[in-house]
């Protein structure tokens, strides 16, 4: 009896572990994040994504070929970067969108695009991934929408696996610093229940922003003075020291104020398939001693 090569046996074993493929049944009716019931009569073939995270997710689940246009911030993977740009959520080029003849446009609940596009006969679905668990549930929803349910389940498994690998390291951190993560200099930060806030915790930091302020709150600078964090991320030491009362903060005095590298800043702000990669980059900043 002929013996199969070890690599073939391993590949077959891994394939056996993949989720069972299941085709989506159309018409498909679902409730989007605007509370609207949207019915897709058939599998969408020509999609415009106005959210970079959705663009990445569609490609990760094997539906990149359905994209015919994206917002101006969608730039990953390379296949997406080459697609026609149709503005962004708050400054869309509707004429260009209609010209691409999409059968579905993915938007955000904040975009206010659905009315205009619906009048033009183009279905829209508003999806947002602001909380950690939503990254997984909405990835599965996107899988249903584009008839890639098994692939979406596999992407979710991969994200969870990547995150678990980092958590194994950060769980052993001797001390978890109190941390302020700034996402905008006005200043905006992240609440502990946002997807970024959860990642900050998994990176081995203690967020100084209370959950009561919401997921992405604009914070009172005095709150940061009172919290006196040991680590500050998302801004430079110079910028922090220039703010009233911040020059004496523990993080500033200890030189533990770290701006985010551009690539990390991009993937950290995009809930989606690269979330495990974002967590690893964040954990390196919080606990460099664990990655030597």
Q: Is the pLDDT of residue 210 over 70?
A: yes
Convert the pLDDT of each residue in 159-171 to its tens digit: 999 999 999 999 9
65 found inside a domain: yes
> Helix (H, G, I), strand (E, B), or coil: what is residue 22?
coil
Convert the pLDDT of each residue in 193-205 to its tens digit: 999 999 999 999 9
11 found inside a domain: no
3 found inside a domain: no
Domain of residue 203 covers 175-290
Same domain, 132 and 184: no
Query: What CATH number has the domain bearing residue 128?
Result: 3.40.50.1980
Residue 196: both structure tokens together? 């970024």
Confidence of residue 172 (pLDDT cuts 50, 70, 90): confident
Same domain, 114 and 212: no
Same domain, 108 and 208: no
Same domain, 38 and 92: yes
Helices and strands, counts by H and E, the chain: 13, 13
Convert the pLDDT of each residue in 51-70 to its tens digit: 999 999 999 999 999 999 99
Same domain, 136 and 193: no
Same domain, 199 and 110: no
- Percentage of the chain with pLDDT > 90? 89
Q: Is the pLDDT of residue 209 over 90?
A: yes
Query: Hey, what's the torsion of the CAs at 134, 209, 240, 184, to 10 degrees?
Result: 30
158 found inside a domain: no
- Percentage of the chain with pLDDT > 70? 92
Q: Among 14-18, 84-88, 108-112, 260-264, which is the least confidently predicted range?
A: 14-18
Same domain, 122 and 212: no
Mean pLDDT of 103-124: 93
The residue with greater pLDDT, 234 or 7, is 234
Given 110, 128, 147, the domain boundary residue is: 147
169 found inside a domain: no
Number of domains in the chain: 2
198 found inside a domain: yes
* pLDDT at residue 217 in the model: 98
Cα–Cα dist 255/21, whole Å: 51
Residue 291: both structure tokens together? 């990655």
20 found inside a domain: no
When the pLDDT of each residue in the chain is averaged and rounded to a whole number, the result is 93
Q: Is the pLDDT of residue 280 over 70?
A: yes
Q: Residues 287, 204: contact at Cβ < 8 Å?
A: yes
166 found inside a domain: no
* pLDDT at residue 20 in the model: 55
Confidence of residue 107 (pLDDT cuts 50, 70, 90): very high
């Amino acid at each position: 009896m002929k013996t199969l090569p070890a690599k073939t046996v391993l590949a077959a074993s891994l394939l056996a572990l993949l989720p069972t493929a299941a085709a989506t049944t159309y018409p498909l009716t679902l409730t989007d994040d605007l509370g609207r019931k949207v019915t897709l009569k058939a599998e969408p073939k020509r999609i415009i994504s106005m959210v970079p995270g959705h663009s990445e997710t569609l490609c990760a689940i094997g539906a990149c070929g359905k994209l015919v246009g994206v917002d101006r911030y969608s730039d990953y993977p390379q296949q997406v970067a080459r697609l026609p740009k149709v503005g962004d959520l708050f400054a869309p080029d509707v004429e260009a969108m209609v010209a691409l003849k999409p059968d579905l446009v993915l938007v955000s609940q904040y975009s206010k695009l659905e009315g205009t596009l619906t009048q033009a006969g183009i279905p829209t679905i508003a999806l947002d991934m602001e909380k950690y668990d939503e990254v997984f549930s909405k990835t599965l929803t996107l899988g249903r929408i584009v008839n890639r349910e098994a692939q979406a389940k596999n992407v979710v498994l991969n994200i969870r696996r990547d995150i678990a690998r980092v958590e194994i390291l950060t769980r052993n951190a001797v001390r978890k610093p109190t941390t302020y993560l700034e996402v905008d200099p006005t200043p905006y930060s992240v609440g502990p229940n946002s997807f970024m806030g959860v990642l900050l915790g998994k990176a081995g930091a203690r967020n100084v922003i209370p959950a009561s302020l919401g997921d992405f709150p604009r914070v009172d600078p005095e709150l940061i003075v009172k919290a006196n964090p040991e680590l500050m991320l998302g801004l430079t030491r110079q910028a922090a020291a220039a703010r009233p009362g911040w020059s004496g903060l523990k993080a500033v005095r200890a030189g533990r104020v770290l701006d985010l590298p551009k690539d990390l800043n991009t993937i950290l702000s995009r809930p989606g398939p690269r979330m495990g990669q974002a967590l690893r980059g964040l954990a390196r900043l919080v606990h460099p001693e664990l990655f030597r």
